[in-house]
Chain A
Amino acid sequence: MHPVRELLDARELLRNLTIRELKVRYKRSALGFLWTLLNPLLMMAVFTAVFSTFFKGMLSWFPIYFLTGYLPFAFFQASATVATGSIVGNGNLIRKVYFPRSVLPLSVVLAQLVHLLLGLGVLVVAETIIYIGWDRSFDWWWYLPLLVVAIALLTIFTAGLAMLLAAANTFLRDIQEFTTVAFLMWFYATPVIYPLDQLPGWVQTLIKLNPMTHFVEFFRDSLYSTSLPTWSTLMAGVGSALGMFVLGWLTFSRLSRDFAKEV
């Protein structure tokens, strides 16, 4: 059977694993699901304290600016990091049961997507309050379709990378060690805490090579600056999302045949 068809048939498993991912994470913590919301808020508090004076005058509503970049990036980072170990960590299952292996990294991404959606939910409530009380520029609802596109593209991109890393890590365990540093660097190479247009031109060009820049920009466009992205960034986003997904999928399909021998 074709692997795509196989994955479709296993969608129930995908759902159950996603639920497991979510349940297990919070099962034994007192605040449970609240951490999903608390974490970004705490990060926001810290970064606002440190950076908002920095960009004073340039960026209004710095906490909102931060969150519109941080939420997607945190989703991306957590998905990729957790998914990296998802094959190795489920070695026992891989060695003992046959099922489409791609559900493991994909369920991680979906669980993180739930967190992202919750975070965004709180964010738009906050924006609505700001709209009513202070600033009429937060009419985010007109840009909802763009937000949906942004979420979809980011998820596709992330799923591709998640599969790529999960598969590669099975054969090369160094990847697991490397991700922490790599994603820290990636974080600073993405305009989450700084505005892109304040950088020197050549740095901007460099940073635009980073696909995450585009995805973060889409979120900003719909939730912060409430404007439309240019066609070129949209195309760059679509291209990198599909490219990464195809790369991840192919690598994963190729390598997954020998997972049972390697884990």
Chain B
Amino acid sequence: MPDVSHPDRTRDDPSGAGGGFGVAAGLHHRENETGRGDLSSGAAPGSVLVDDVWESFKVYHERAQGLRDRLFARRKNVTEEFWALRGVSLRLDPGDTVGLIGENGSGKSTLLKCIAGILRPSRGTVQTYGRTASMLELGAGFHPDLTGRENVYLNSSILGFSRRYTDQVFDEMVEFAGQQVAEAIDRPVRTYSSGMYLRLGFAVSVHLQPDILIIDEVLAVGDAKFVKKCYDRIHELKRRGVTIVVVSHDLETVATLCDRAIYLERGKVVADGPSVEVVDRYRADVTAEQGGAVGRWEGGAVYGSGDMTLRDIRLLTGGERDSIRTGDRIAVKFRAHVNAEVDNPVFGLIVRANDGTYLYDTNTLWRHQETGRYAPGDEVEVTFELRANLLPGRYTVTVAASRHDGKVVYDWHSDALGFDVAGEFVANGLVELDGSISVMPIAGT
């Protein structure tokens, strides 16, 4: 087993600021149970290795913390195990910015706490390399009777700062917290407004210079100006190569701040990949859950000469299900109402991914398909049959009718339909290429 026991010790001041925030003065060092010994390649400061982590809580059916309840707990079966994390494995590399998303109760905070060392996994291992700072609550550890100044020093030592380091950044912290806080710095924090309290808490936390920063839904503090300042600060840490793990229900934040997102559901990772895609997937799942997105779609631009009008644009799925699974056969159907004499009009369809990526475009012209000759008042029904070889996510369908040569658009409906594809997450991306993987030992080597 390679020795990974103190990988963080060998490191010099990572702050780059030369701020005397050396190893001895650093955050609380922590070491989790050593893993399986195959980790030698991932030992750079800022790495996190989560290996098959399971976490259970005892759920008491009633408040049972007394002697009587303890003694009789087993017999009466008043406690039950609840698995908040079920086999989560992750590997974060230095400089990763990762967003954790998922419904309430899906285990996001629990996972963060395991990474932060606050909770010990029931099974599996968590290894962090370098200094970890967690922001699960702002101003945790502030004492109402102590002054702002006293609390800053106390809080920063709870977070693992040295006094020397706090001395150096104190003015910066207070300035960051803003004018009101600066004026009240020698007053007990119980006299602070809740905004001031949070600002001070945030100011202390973001002046940490850890290798790994863990943030749980604490970004929405204070007024708009302060929130912006907080983001700027986090972006700055990101540029410095700090590994950042954020939990947020604000999906836009996750998509823009994070390069990568991890989608948790009932304690399991269901998607892990580029944040835009994972956020889309999560959105799709949420909408699907709320009754299915199919058919309920606002649609994009509609334009054309008006020689034909497309209406009743529908998506038909194979069965009664209104969700589409990877590989399902689907059909897009619409009616074209003819308003002027048309000869051999072209009917076309475009499938795009939710972010606009062009995936599939076909029409009767390219297929050399005759469509007929129509007079005003005629109705035509057009059906496109497709196989949804698409990976889980949200997609849109654009339909159009145009002149026989495709050069005059009669009626164009951008993104007329939106649909969500569900399926087992085995690949990331857009299209299902029917991949399979075989792994075989080679004899004799």
- A interface residues with partner B (beta carbon < 8 Å): 1, 5-6, 9-10, 12-13, 16-17, 20, 23-24, 27-28, 92-100, 171-174, 257-258, 260-261
Contact = CB atoms under 8 A, between A and B. Distances in A.
Contact of A6 (B29, B120, B150, B159): B29
Contact of A92 (B6, B137, B163): B137
B28 A99 contact: yes
B344 to A, nearest CB: 70
Contact of A173 (B65, B160, B162): B65
B429 to A, nearest CB: 37
29 contacts: A1-B6, A1-B30, A1-B31, A6-B30, A9-B28, A10-B160, A16-B154, A16-B158, A20-B150, A24-B143, A24-B146, A93-B141, A95-B113, A95-B118, A96-B140, A97-B136, A97-B159, A98-B116, A98-B118, A99-B28, A100-B28, A172-B65, A172-B66, A172-B70, A173-B65, A174-B67, A257-B120, A260-B118, A261-B57
B250 interface: no
B28 A258 contact: no
Contacts of A93: 140-141, 158
Contacts of B171: none
B126 to A, nearest CB: 12
Given A23-B150, A98-B116, A172-B67, A13 B158 contact: yes
Contacts of B119: 260-261
Nearest to B138: A96
A6 to B, nearest CB: 6
B153 interface: yes
Contacts of A28: 145
A260 B113 contact: yes
B140 A97 contact: yes
Contacts of B15: none
Q: Which 8 A-B pairs have the closest CB atoms?
A: A96-B140, A98-B117, A257-B120, A13-B157, A96-B137, A96-B136, A174-B67, A16-B157
A135 B24 CA distance: 52
Contacts of A10: 28, 160
B168 to A, nearest CB: 15
A184 B192 CA distance: 41
Contacts of B402: none
A96 B109 CA distance: 10
B117 A20 contact: no
Nearest to B188: A27
B146 A98 contact: no
Nearest to A13: B157
B61 interface: no
B29 A9 contact: yes
For A12, A23, A100, the residue with the greatest tally of chain B CB atoms inside 10 Å of its CB is A12
